[in-house]
A = this chain, B = another copy of it.
Amino acid sequence: MDAGAWQRLGDYLRETQLLGSIQNTLYWDQNTRMPVGGASWRGEQLSLVARELHARQTSSLFKSLLEDAKAELEKERVSGDLTPSQDLQKSCNIRLLEQDFHRQERLDRVLVSDLAEAKAIGYNSWQNARASADFLSFSPALARLIELRKEQARQLAEPRTCWETLAQPFEPDVTYSRLEELFAPLREKLPCLIERVRTSNAPLERKPWDLSVSAQQGLCDELLAEWGRDDSISCVGSSPHPFSITLGPKDFRLTTRIVSGQPFSSFLATAHEWGHSLYEQGLPSQRHQWFAWPLGQATSMGVHESQSLFWENRVARSKEFADRWWKRFKKVGAPIESSKELWKLMNPLTPGSNRVEADELSYGLHILIRTELEIALLEGGLEVDDLPYEWNRRYQAFLGLKPKNDVEGCLQDVHWSEGLFGYFPSYLLGHLISAQLSEAMCNDFSGASIDSADPIAKFVSEGKESTLLEWLRVHVHLHGRSMNAEQLVESISGKKLSSEPFLVYLEKKLNLLEHCS
């Protein structure tokens, strides 16, 4: 057996991964420490690394290493040197690498470089447009990004629509018709639920209040300590927008931010970002030295989001969690006199025009609006200059409100300014996947004689979140990219992914909240 080819491919992937993680380090620093003056040079550093990464991912050396490894695998198969599971894993790695290679290979260098430049210009123009609340100053940059992305889809020449092609890196194998199937029930039922809340469940009235920075930091530290953060492999920073990022096999970073007047913002963002980080920490890369192989990577942004939402919504926003934590909030200055109060304050369910601050009920509608609009921009002939009008029209129709201006409207998200089209649905898929996995988790625990109607609630109330994590590790994290999101959900829950568990979960929560009033 010629053991060399697989090893040589692995060494090459490892170097590519080193370069990718250098990119991540630059990004982390850019968002946590870099002074504003450093932006332009940092942009050049990032662009250099991006060019080198693309060159590595499309090099003839990579191609021949891939062919050699495939030939070696074939030989091993013929000579019976592989267990079925080794065969499956190696084949899967090769298949995904070939897919990624062919995708990169089809793009010409000029386009890659033009896109990098257009992203930098777009992001910059978006920031300026926000500062001056002037959408039209941003529209040329956005139009350029749309044109380049369309060209990218043409070059990729996949048997998919333009928008579907661009969505693949975030959500492999996603199709528009399947999304429609999944999202249609939400489009129908979420507005009814929102209406029901408006009439029956008045938000808790409070004089404006806040928690001190140190109180919020203390609560976040306490949360992460209880949830098992190991400071020898992770660190917490602060940044304008919270994020989670992996810089190495044993180097996980997350950030949070303090938002004035929003005493739960940093706490819930910490729970959310830690959920992302736990997924990355649990990927098989760590246990099998596969950090650089496809099987050691996250399978989709939807699954990633399901993990963050699980810890934020299922755990931190639950009644049982409030039972355990309300006194700690009170102790550091929150005007809270009961568990119920903390719970209701953490679940306001009041629609607004901002996606990031949206509650679980209205969140889906924000995504439906964006998905419709980006498909219209890429495939439906919607002119960029008409975007604000179409945005506002849909907010009125879906959520019954009109953004005060474009900064609160179609300039609120960074994604399009960096040419990220096809990304938004993953956020909503994350809600559906989280709900369906939670249901499966409950069934699994009930099957294992956990005597409770809601085993997740039971473990949370007992402070045994580590049991929930262990379940996610085994059932979700360890599979890496061996299955796509839908396959993963079906293999775990025994059912095709649907919006039902999410809607059931929401209704149950509403019932509880009403009961609680």
Contact = CB atoms under 8 A, between A and B. Distances in A.
Question: Nearest 6 CB-CB pairs, A to B?
Answer: A38-B251, A41-B248, A37-B250, A37-B233, A37-B232, A38-B248
A381 interface: no
A235 interface: yes
A515 to B, nearest CB: 44
Contacts of A251: 34-35, 37-38, 41-42
A232 B18 contact: no
A41 B21 contact: yes
18 contacts: A18-B45, A19-B48, A21-B45, A25-B45, A34-B247, A35-B234, A35-B251, A36-B232, A37-B233, A37-B248, A37-B251, A38-B233, A38-B247, A38-B250, A38-B251, A40-B250, A41-B248, A42-B248
A466 to B, nearest CB: 20
B249 A34 contact: no
Contacts of A248: 37-38, 40-42, 45
Contacts of A247: 34, 38, 41
A42 B35 CA distance: 23
Work out how many copies of this chain go into the complex: 2
Interface of A: 14-15, 18-19, 21-22, 25-26, 28-29, 32-38, 40-42, 44-45, 48-49, 230-235, 237, 247-253
Given A21-B41, A25-B29, A36-B232, 8 more contacts: A18-B48, A25-B26, A25-B45, A32-B33, A33-B235, A34-B251, A35-B232, A35-B250
A7 to B, nearest CB: 16
A231 B18 CA distance: 31
B231 A35 contact: yes
Nearest to A233: B37
Contacts of A22: 22, 26, 45, 48-49
Most buried by B among A15, A40, A42, A48: A42
Contacts of A231: 35
A230 B253 CA distance: 28
A250 B42 CA distance: 10
Contacts of A15: 48
Contacts of A48: 15, 18-19, 22
A374 to B, nearest CB: 33
Given A235-B34, A235-B35, A250-B38, A44 B29 contact: no
Contacts of A34: 235, 247, 251
Contact of A33 (B45, B230, B237): B237
A120 to B, nearest CB: 15
